[in-house]
């Protein structure tokens, strides 16, 4: 998932200020959409990812927050962790493998 930032000028009476808006797309040819909880859930229908989004960001969380330690947006790290949480089934045993 790619995340883009766009700065726009917003008028406030006699003054103006810059507002940064974040957009994302899935893959090279994905549709560019504003980063919202609803848009992310539509783009990635995996319910575990939805639960992790809700638990991490809640209704009012900053979806465009950057993780300085991992050098990536937190939502991208969450998505990466979700994809790496593989459930293996074999011989009647369920194993959850996660590489974080």
Q: Is the pLDDT of residue 100 over 50?
A: no
Number of domains in the chain: 1
pLDDT, tens only, 42-71 = 888 878 888 888 888 887 788 888 889 988
Q: What are phi and psi of 38, to 5 degrees?
A: -65, -45
Domain hosting residue 64, numbered range: 2-97
43 with 63: CB under 8 angstroms? no
pTM passes above 0.85: no
What integer best gives the mean pLDDT of the chain?
A: 78
């Amino acid at each position: 998932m790619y995340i883009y930032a766009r700065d726009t000028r917003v008028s406030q009476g006699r003054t103006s200020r810059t507002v940064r808006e974040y957009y994302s797309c899935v893959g090279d040819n994905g549709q560019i959409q504003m980063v919202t909880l609803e848009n992310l859930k539509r783009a990635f229908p995996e319910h575990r990812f939805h639960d992790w989004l809700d638990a991490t960001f809640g209704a009012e969380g900053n979806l465009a927050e950057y993780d300085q330690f991992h050098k990536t947006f937190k939502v991208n790290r969450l998505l990466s962790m979700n994809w790496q949480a593989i459930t293996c089934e074999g011989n009647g045993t369920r194993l959850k493998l996660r590489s974080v």
